[in-house]
A and B are shown apart, each in its own frame.
Chain A
Amino acid sequence: MNRPVSEFAPANDNIIAETERWQAETRAPFVAAQPERRDPFVTQALKWPIKPLYTPADLDAVGFDYLKDVGFPGEYPYTRSTRPNGHRSGFWTMTQVTGFGKGEDWAKRARFMLDQGLSGLILEYDLATTNGYDSDDPMVEGEVGRAGMALDSLEDLENAFDLPFDKLKYLMSVCNAPQPVNLAMIIAALEKKGVDPKDFVLHIVNGILIEYTCVGRYIYPPEHGLRIATDAIEYIIRNHPNWAPLSIISAQLQPAKANPVQEIAFSLAICCAYIDATLERGLDIDTVAPYLNHFVVNVDMDFFEGICKLRAFRKCWARLMKERYGATRPEALKIRLMTSPTTIALTLQQPLNNIGRLAIMATACALGGAGENMTTPLHDEAHSLPAEEAIRVGAALQHIVAHETGVAETIDPLAGSYYVETLTKQMEDAAFAEMEKIFAMGGAVKAIETGYFQRALGREQYERNKDLEEGRRKWVGVNHLVLPEEKREIEIFRLNDEMEEQQVEKVRALRARRDQPAVDAALDKVREAARNGDNLVPVCLDAVKLYATHGELCNAMRDVFGVHTPDSQLAGV
């Protein structure tokens, strides 16, 4: 598709000459009289210089070729959209995160959210669950049911799933280290509720490699973490082909201050580790890639970095699948993006300002292509867990962007912008260079084990914070337009303090009344499967149906795999 350069050259030589003339005759005298307000102008995260003006000559400078680099919606390389008709045939699915307290508390909140017009939910668990402990474990005192729902046994999910499954069509379960225990519990709970697994999409995040990289909710050493994640992936592909076995939560790298290039490169390199492990189970790339192409991507306040990142992500995925793995099916070449405004742009100070920030970031998500799914954090998240008013505002915000702004009425409306296409292409090139570096060091698991990812992020965290403190970045309410004696008028959601004790009682009572010898035998089967490399999902499923607890199952695997205790030097502090 490359046309000879000479075909463009005369026109763009003119543009270069004219740009130089404009610079000398018109702009330079003006700037001499009115100096620029920043020196230099740079993008927020990447700190790439921003020119005062972009023209067709800039596209030539980065080697931009419309048909090769951008093409058409629903066709390789998918830069413009993975959907042939963008959002004209239907908006993205609008979701929100929820999860706190006991199962029945979650069900109450989930019903409220479904009534607000949401069709998908994200279930987050408390830190006891995501780190592989039961609620009565001394390690987790004070954490039960706080950052998400407490999940000790199948009983908790039976309570949580007291929901209108005619309205709920999509559930994302955010539980990484304790796969495949979490998957087994959900399968068993859906069975009990009589939900037809074909008429419902369960999406497990299963993203243990990001946990080692920056989140920290790991249990076992990385190679075992990857193996059990792959067990869950293989089980879903073979048994529930309409479900989703993995999400790469690039949106966890972003709050850890990965810049857009690191985000694309680290996420894709991490995804390659899962792909390689799944291919080893005897599946082929055109089967595997459509299951492992779910990415959750945050957009930050730099509007164009966010938009270009989404466009570059789609293209980088397509290129990687084609060039590295030889994938050919369109489903394998299309990334599935779930986008979200980032919580790290939100401030504790003047919390209502966050509604404005969220609207801007949600608009950037929509302009960048939104993806299958958009989830909005809530304006009071910096204070506490979300209150109901904030949930209503957050849900309305997506409808405002979708129905009132017109940004989704044509496909990829910013394509062809000299700045947007230049930045998109620069991000793609830089991300590929970074990926090659990671592959050369042995791939993502090696990059984790040597601390490469962690150190890179630690440096970004410190430098970006310095930008803020030294005033290179202005942040309203934090270092700009600060209110000295701020009064806070915002509804704060509070957890019932007795909740933890009730949950502890509940799991103890459960252990007292179940068939203990059967549970012990089932846990032995889990240890055996862990040792001999059999897929762990079927044995976990047998165990959870006997009400073996989440913590007991995680401990059975601890007995075999050991625990991950990284050198604290690798923590990046």
Chain B
Amino acid sequence: MQEQPNRRLRVLLAKLGMDTHTVGVTIIGHALREAGMEVIFTGLKQTPEMVAAAAIQEDVDVVGISTLSAGHTRNLPKLARLLREQGGGDKLLLAGGVIPQEDQPLLQAAGVHKIFTMGADTRDIVQYLEQWWAEKQASEAA
């Protein structure tokens, strides 16, 4: 499939499970939109299956999961596996929220590419995404 040059980055933001804390994901959504990205929010109370399906169907480049309830050690690895199984293994999977440092290696090994914990600067997140996108487009062009 031919990528159009300068296509806008498409980001799916989601809340998994029963965790309904939305302040962080609201701020990120506004910031990414302001940076020119397309942002889709799944709404609350999603299962890994629902998020994986939405990511494939919406053909997003990035899946960002906001988690503040301690369910992350189970539902994030499951989402990563579902994405791989459904042909979405090339999507960038990010997590943010309350994620203790000692859980991070487990999540990274399971396929979460990058974790932004509480207090992360939205400008750093935007910069990280822009850089990843530029590199991806460059490697696809090559």
B41 touches A127 (CB 8 A): no
A478, B118: Cα distance in complex, Å: 10
Digit string of B27-67 for contact with A (CB within 8 Å is 1, else 0)? 10111000000010111110100000000000000000000
Contact of B119 among A215, A256, A348 (CB under 8 A): A348
Segment 219-261 of A: residues with Cβ below 8 Å from B:
255-257
How far apart are A469's CB and chain B's nearest CB, in angstroms? 5
Segment 81-113 of B: residues with Cβ below 8 Å from A:
98, 100-102
A126, B21: Cα distance in complex, Å: 13
B117 touches A141 (CB 8 A): no
A143 touches B30 (CB 8 A): no
Indicate if A159 sits at the interface (CB-CB under 8 A). Answer: no
For A469, the chain B residues whose CB sits under 8 A away are: 121-123
For B26, the chain A residues whose CB sits under 8 A away are: 458, 461-462, 571-573
Segment 126-146 of A: residues with Cβ below 8 Å from B:
126-128, 130-131, 133, 138-143, 146
B20 touches A215 (CB 8 A): yes
Indicate if B115 sits at the interface (CB-CB under 8 A). Answer: no
Number of A-B contacts (CB under 8 A): 110
Nearest chain B residue, comparing its CB with the CB of A495 = B70
A130, B19: Cα distance in complex, Å: 10
How far apart are A125's CB and chain B's nearest CB, in angstroms? 11
What is the interface residue range for chain B against chain A? 35 or more
How far apart are A265's CB and chain B's nearest CB, in angstroms? 20
| Of A59-67, A197-205, A378-386, A534-542, the one with at least 4 CB within 8 A of chain B | A378-386
Indicate if B22 sits at the interface (CB-CB under 8 A). Answer: yes
For A571, the chain B residues whose CB sits under 8 A away are: 22, 26, 41, 43-44
Contact of B22 among A133, A147, A572 (CB under 8 A): A572
For B41, the chain A residues whose CB sits under 8 A away are: 568, 571, 573
Indicate if B137 sits at the interface (CB-CB under 8 A). Answer: no
A565, B45: Cα distance in complex, Å: 10
Nearest chain B residue, comparing its CB with the CB of A131 = B18
A462 touches B27 (CB 8 A): yes
Indicate if A217 sits at the interface (CB-CB under 8 A). Answer: yes
Segment 142-179 of A: residues with Cβ below 8 Å from B:
142-143, 146-147
For A139, the chain B residues whose CB sits under 8 A away are: 17-18, 45, 47
Indicate if A465 sits at the interface (CB-CB under 8 A). Answer: yes
Nearest chain B residue, comparing its CB with the CB of A567 = B43
A147 touches B69 (CB 8 A): yes
Given contacts A141-B17, A142-B71, A568-B41, contact A216 B101 (CB under 8 A): no
B47 touches A138 (CB 8 A): yes
Segment 458-507 of A: residues with Cβ below 8 Å from B:
458, 461-462, 465, 469, 478, 488, 492, 495
A572, B45: Cα distance in complex, Å: 16
Indicate if A347 sits at the interface (CB-CB under 8 A). Answer: yes
A147 touches B70 (CB 8 A): yes
For B73, the chain A residues whose CB sits under 8 A away are: 142
Contact of A143 among B13, B19, B39 (CB under 8 A): B19
A385, B42: Cα distance in complex, Å: 27
How far apart are B4's CB and chain A's nearest CB, in angstroms? 26
Digit string of A554-573 for contact with B (CB within 8 Å is 1, else 0)? 00000000000110100111
A461 touches B23 (CB 8 A): yes
Instruction: Say whether chain A's binding surface is mostly helix, strand, loop, or mixed.
Output: loop
How far apart are B102's CB and chain A's nearest CB, in angstroms? 8
A544, B23: Cα distance in complex, Å: 35
For A373, the chain B residues whose CB sits under 8 A away are: none
B19 touches A568 (CB 8 A): no
Indicate if B7 sits at the interface (CB-CB under 8 A). Answer: no
A143 touches B71 (CB 8 A): yes
Given contacts A142-B73, A573-B25, contact A127 B17 (CB under 8 A): yes
B100 touches A383 (CB 8 A): yes
A523, B31: Cα distance in complex, Å: 47
Digit string of A415-441 for contact with B (CB within 8 Å is 1, else 0)? 000000000000000000000000000
Indicate if A19 sits at the interface (CB-CB under 8 A). Answer: no
For A214, the chain B residues whose CB sits under 8 A away are: 22
B117 touches A348 (CB 8 A): yes
For A573, the chain B residues whose CB sits under 8 A away are: 13, 22, 25-26, 29-30, 39, 41
For A382, the chain B residues whose CB sits under 8 A away are: 98, 118
A140 touches B27 (CB 8 A): no
Indicate if A119 sits at the interface (CB-CB under 8 A). Answer: no
A127, B18: Cα distance in complex, Å: 5
A469, B30: Cα distance in complex, Å: 14
For A216, the chain B residues whose CB sits under 8 A away are: 20-22, 44-45
A558, B118: Cα distance in complex, Å: 35
A256, B23: Cα distance in complex, Å: 6
For B75, the chain A residues whose CB sits under 8 A away are: 141-142
A348, B101: Cα distance in complex, Å: 11
A565, B31: Cα distance in complex, Å: 25
For B30, the chain A residues whose CB sits under 8 A away are: 458, 461-462, 573
Indicate if A12 sits at the interface (CB-CB under 8 A). Answer: no
How far apart are A45's CB and chain B's nearest CB, in angstroms? 14
For B98, the chain A residues whose CB sits under 8 A away are: 348, 382-384
How far apart are B46's CB and chain A's nearest CB, in angstroms? 10
A111, B142: Cα distance in complex, Å: 65
Indicate if A23 sits at the interface (CB-CB under 8 A). Answer: no
Contact of A384 among B22, B23, B70 (CB under 8 A): B70
Given contacts A488-B101, A573-B29, contact A465 B122 (CB under 8 A): yes
For B21, the chain A residues whose CB sits under 8 A away are: 216
Indicate if A93 sits at the interface (CB-CB under 8 A). Answer: no
16 of the cross-chain contacts (CB-CB < 8 Å) are A131-B18, A131-B45, A139-B45, A142-B75, A143-B19, A216-B44, A348-B98, A384-B100, A385-B70, A458-B26, A478-B119, A571-B26, A571-B43, A573-B13, A573-B26, A573-B30
Q: Give B contacts to A, CB under 8 Å.
A: 13, 17-23, 25-27, 29-31, 39, 41-45, 47, 69-75, 98, 100-102, 117-119, 121-123
Known: A146-B71, A348-B98, A462-B26. 4 other contacts (CB 8 A): A127-B18, A141-B17, A462-B30, A573-B25
The 9 closest A-B pairs by CB, nearest first: A216-B20, A127-B18, A142-B74, A142-B71, A573-B29, A573-B41, A146-B70, A462-B30, A568-B43
